[in-house]
Structure 1
Amino acid sequence: MTEALHLAELNVGRLLAPTDDPRVAEFMAALDRVNGMGKRMPGFVWMMEGSGEPGMGNTETKIDGDPQYVSNLTVWENVESLEHFVWNTVHRSFYERRAEWFEVLGGMHFVMWWVPAGHRPTLEEGLDRLAHLQAKGDSDRAFGWSYLKEAQLWKTHACARMAAE
Structure 2
Amino acid sequence: MTDYHLAELNVGRLVAPVDDPRVADFMANLDRINGLGKRMPGFVWMMEGSGAPGTGNTDNAIGGDPLFVPNLSVWESAEQLETFVWGTIHKQFYARRAEWFEVLGEMHFVMWWVPEGHQPTLEEALDRLQHLKINGDSDHAFGWAHLKEATQWRDNGCAPVAAE
Q: TM-score, structure 1 length as denominator?
A: 0.97
- Take 1:159 and 1:138, find their aligned partners in 2: how far apart are those partners? 17
Q: Which amino acid aligns with 2:69?
A: V
Q: Which residue pairs with 1:102 in the alignment?
A: 101
Q: Which residue pairs with 1:12 in the alignment?
A: 11
- Take 1:162 and 1:23, find their aligned partners in 2: how far apart are those partners? 22
- Amino-acid identity (%): 71
- Take 1:42 and 1:29, find their aligned partners in 2: how far apart are those partners? 24
2:110/2:129 contact within 8 Å kept: yes
Q: Which amino acid aligns with 1:88?
A: G
The 1:62/1:46 distance shift into structure 2, 3 A limit, reads: same
What SS does the aligned partner of 1:133 have?
Answer: helix
Could you report, residue by residue, the CA deviation over 1:12-38 in whole angstroms, capped at 9, with x for unpaired residues? 011000000000000011100000000
- Take 2:160 and 2:95, find their aligned partners in 1: how far apart are those partners? 10
Count residues with an aligned counterpart.
164
Q: Which amino acid aligns with 1:76?
A: W
- Take 2:160 and 2:63, find their aligned partners in 1: how far apart are those partners? 24
- Take 1:163 and 1:54, find their aligned partners in 2: how far apart are those partners? 28
Could you report, residue by residue, the CA deviation over 1:76-124 in whole angstroms, capped at 9, with x for unpaired residues? 0011110100110111111111110001101110000000000000000
The 1:84/1:121 distance shift into structure 2, 3 A limit, reads: same
State the Cα distance separating 1:160 from its structure 2 match. 4.4
1:11/1:110 contact within 8 Å kept: yes
- Take 1:105 and 1:159, find their aligned partners in 2: how far apart are those partners? 12
Q: Which residue pairs with 2:73 in the alignment?
A: 74
Q: Which runs of 5+ in 2 are unaligned?
A: none
State the Cα distance separating 1:162 from its structure 2 match. 5.5
2:106/2:161 contact within 8 Å kept: no
1:11/1:164 contact within 8 Å kept: no
Superposition CA RMSD, Å: 1.0
Q: Which residue pairs with 2:50 in the alignment?
A: 51
- Take 2:126 and 2:150, find their aligned partners in 1: how far apart are those partners? 22
Q: Which residue pairs with 1:62 in the alignment?
A: 61
Q: Which amino acid aligns with 2:24?
A: A
Q: Which residue pairs with 2:141 in the alignment?
A: 142
- Take 1:82 and 1:38, find their aligned partners in 2: how far apart are those partners? 9
